[in-house]
């Protein structure tokens, strides 16, 4: 529905631009600053048709629209490619900074977390936020620095055997919690063990 309406507006603007251009004396045709990347341009409406690889972005200017041709659509919009024109379409959610299509967000505005294409104020249960995303799998989160190895022990004793075991841990690197989020991080602590030679008596 939105794409059909935008395509109709683009077609009307293109027709108006051709008629206006035909009525003007050839000596008065000047290349406008906004028209340098356009295939067709109107002095009142800016770009109405763009080269094949560029996207037409229509900005509302009062009751009319002003078009510009862009290599990439601005924040809050995504590029819709079509047979007649490539057009910048607005993301459905105003909280979305980048979207794959109208309904699926790929990057949220600052202060929000992305979860399955939606922008949320906080991550759902059993997920955790990490650099603007709500993740379900702790494997995706890099670890911090490893701690020191524990003393070499076997059965709780530091000697009496030739070989024992020692352990060390590291915390996952999570994005810092906001003041209202002081719960324990849901991602488990990373642990590893190794064999060690025990001290002689």
10: how many CB neighbours lie within 10 A of its CB? 23
* Half-sphere exposure at residue 142, Cβ-oriented, CA atoms within 13 angstroms: 4
Query: Within the chain, which residue ranges are assigned CATH 2.10.220.10?
Result: 31-90
pLDDT tens-digit profile of 6-45?
455 445 444 444 434 433 433 334 445 667 778 888 877 8
pTM: 0.54
Identify the pLDDT of residue 94: 92
Class of domain 31-90: mainly beta
**Using an 8 Å Cβ cutoff, are 159 and 199 in contact?**
yes
Identify the pLDDT of residue 125: 83
**Looking at the predicted structure, is the pLDDT value of residue 59 above 70?**
yes
Identify the pLDDT of residue 113: 92
């Amino acid at each position: 529905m939105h794409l059909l309406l935008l395509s109709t507006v683009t077609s009307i603007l293109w027709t108006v631009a051709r008629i206006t251009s035909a009525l003007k004396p050839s000596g008065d045709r000047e290349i406008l600053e906004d028209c340098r990347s356009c295939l067709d341009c109107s002095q009142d409406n800016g770009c109405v048709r763009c080269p094949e690889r560029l996207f037409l972005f229509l900005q509302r200017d009062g009751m009319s629209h002003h078009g510009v041709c862009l290599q990439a659509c601005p924040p809050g919009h995504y590029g819709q490619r079509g047979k007649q024109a490539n057009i910048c379409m607005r993301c459905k959610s105003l909280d979305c900074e980048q979207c794959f299509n109208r309904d699926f967000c790929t990057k949220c505005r600052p202060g929000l977390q992305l979860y399955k294409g939606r922008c949320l104020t906080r991550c759902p249960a059993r997920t955790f936020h990490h650099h603007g995303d709500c993740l379900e799998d702790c494997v995706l989160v890099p670890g911090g620095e490893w701690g020191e190895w524990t003393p070499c022990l076997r059965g709780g004793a530091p000697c009496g055997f030739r070989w024992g075991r020692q352990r060390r841990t590291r915390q996952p690197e999570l994005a810092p919690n906001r003041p209202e989020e002081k719960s324990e991080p849901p991602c488990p602590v990373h642990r590893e063990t190794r064999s060690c030679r025990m001290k002689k008596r």
